[in-house]
Structure 1
Amino acid sequence: MVERLWPVVSEESPQQAASGSVFAEPLPEGRPPRQVLENLWLFAPNRDTLGGSAWWLETPEWEGCAGLLIDCPGLNQANLAFLRERGPGRLVLTSRDGHGRTRRFQEELQWPVSLQEQEAYLLPTVDGLEPFSSEQSLAPGYSLRWTPGPTPGSAVLLADRAFNGAPLLFCGRLLSPVASGEARPLRTRRSFHWSRWLRSLEALGDWLPRSTPVALASGAGLGALRGEALIADVQQQLQALDWAALEGQEPV
């Protein structure tokens, strides 16, 4: 069992969870996600997750699971219709910053929810939670890894053949786009533990395959990529980090 590293803070108040009043308003129409690859879609930034980006990855070779929803997109009619058409699927949460309206999505879709065990207790009213500890293989070619730092339960998902037959890493806010083709760890006042974050990145570099480049799909704001959605080589991004300079980085 991994030691709990975060105080108990629910995404909903007990009163809201009991009454469901937080969802009493009619859903906005919204707009569906845009297709990035043949098997990959990117949702519009979600204000419920501080402008975070959610993804839909098709998994045709995974029997019983049509795809993975990585973090929560905005709760609207277009997104729900898109997901209903493509299910059954699974929701994978990369951190508490990606929880958004997890309870409502799970109620609507009845999909299981994978997340790191540090943050499962933040969703006490959500059915279908499947927490993991350090690492977990969801299915052949789909692996989760605990990467604490941005939040105690931050995690990444590695899909071995998702990027045109090559690996693709969904990293949540572990790495944020800072310019076209570039991503870095960005410390904020909400960050959990900066030194632990940097250790997670060092360990991630050892965990990723070395025989082929791994593309990166960040869950942070993607505006810095100037219209692009993915970064081609995460190993290159990690090798370019100045660890000594990062140690002294102040929160932004």
Structure 2
Amino acid sequence: MNQGTFAYLSLSSIKAGVRAREFFLEQPNSITLHPIVTLPLDSVIPEDPKTLSNKQPRIVLAGEAACAIYAFPPNRHTLGATAYLIVENQVRILVDCPAWDEGTQTFLEQQGPIDWLFITHRGGIGQIQALQQALGCKVLIQEQEAYLLPGITPESFQQDYSLSLASQVIWTPGHSPGSSCLYLMEYGGVLFTGRHLLPDPQGQPTPLRTAKTFHWPRQIRSVRYLLEQFTPETLNFICPGANTGFLRGQRAIDQAYDRLAQLDLVTCLRTQPLL
């Protein structure tokens, strides 16, 4: 396991093991709190799959830092999820699996060799075998979900894993046992959340409880953990792994830390799952 750390994260100070993640929720400060809105996983219906293959990935962030971020069209193989490509100077990272077709392959080949494919959770696997075989990239997944990749020998991690000097993976269990986020230092801090945090109809980041949620209290504790690790200066954007239609044309959720801090996590614990 790679235990690398960087300035904005204090992960090295966290004791290893699950016990270190079992922290208690404190009463929120006197700020404006927003209730959690629960939505089904497929509440934002992806566009007609016949048209998706004709669409190119779009720029999310570029020009102000030494890397670019692209978002792929929703992928029907992952229930309409959004995959991302991070292009740094020395490394290229796919976050979850985009739809694998000729257009995707051509685009990725134009960006240069893909070094890593990071899977945020079991729902982001998609057509991973075909993709990994064509690209020859390394695959990273949290150790509790590595068994879901037959025929592939992935890299796995327990708590955190450094992919580059500017990017690090953080275990945030709850949505699924191995649910994890990727943090990128550029652009004031960008967090790729998979389905751990999704936009609600107002575009606010929120945890989502469904009948398939693995462990809801743990997911809420993982949200609190992220709030403890970051600040408004180190977490500027969230790139969610689904429900991007709720962003209303925006490419990412801005003012990410401030928006997260407005969640009423105590009330959220009492949220009932949707069927």
**TM-score category by the smaller chain?**
0.7 to 0.9
* 2:103 is the counterpart of 1:73: no
* 2:267 is the counterpart of 1:245: yes
Q: Which amino acid aligns with 1:211?
A: E
Q: Which residue, 187, 195, 201 being the options, matches 2:217?
A: 195
* 2:175 is the counterpart of 1:146: no
Q: Which residue, 25, 28, 31 being the options, matches 2:55?
A: 31
Q: Which residue, 106, 124, 137 being the options, matches 2:132?
A: 106
**Unmatched runs of 5 consecutive residues or more in structure 2:** 1-15, 19-51, 63-67
CA distance in 2, matches of 1:220, 1:213: 19
Partner of 2:151: 125
Show structure 1 runs of 4+ deviating over 3 A: 209-213
CA distance in 2, matches of 1:119, 1:101: 16
Question: 2:181 touches 2:191 (CA, 8 Å); kept in 1?
Answer: yes
TM-score, normalised by the number of residues in structure 1: 0.82
Q: Which amino acid aligns with 1:118?
A: Q
Stretch of structure 1 that moved more, 238-247 or 150-159: 238-247
CA deviations on 1:74-93 (whole Å, 9 max, x unpaired) are 11110111112213121111
CA distance in 2, matches of 1:228, 1:43: 14
Give the 3-state SS of the residue equivalent to 1:139 in structure 2: coil
Give the 3-state SS of the residue equivalent to 2:81 in structure 1: coil
RMSD: 1.8
Give the 3-state SS of the residue equivalent to 2:257 in structure 1: helix
Check 1:235–1:103 CA distance in 2 against 1; reply closer, same or farther (3 A cut).
same
CA deviations on 1:96-119 (whole Å, 9 max, x unpaired) are 011111111000100001111111
Q: Which residue, 218, 238, 251 being the options, matches 1:229?
A: 251
Partner of 2:45: none
Question: 1:55 touches 1:69 (CA, 8 Å); kept in 2?
Answer: yes
CA deviations on 1:154-188 (whole Å, 9 max, x unpaired) are 00000101x3xx21110101111113441111111
Partner of 1:51: 80
Question: 1:184 touches 1:237 (CA, 8 Å); kept in 2?
Answer: no
CA distance in 2, matches of 1:105, 1:198: 33
CA distance in 2, matches of 1:136, 1:35: 26
Determine what percentage of the aligned residue pairs are the same residue: 36
TM-score, normalised by the number of residues in structure 2: 0.76
Question: 2:60 touches 2:251 (CA, 8 Å); kept in 1?
Answer: yes
Aligned length: 220
Partner of 2:25: none
Partner of 1:185: 207
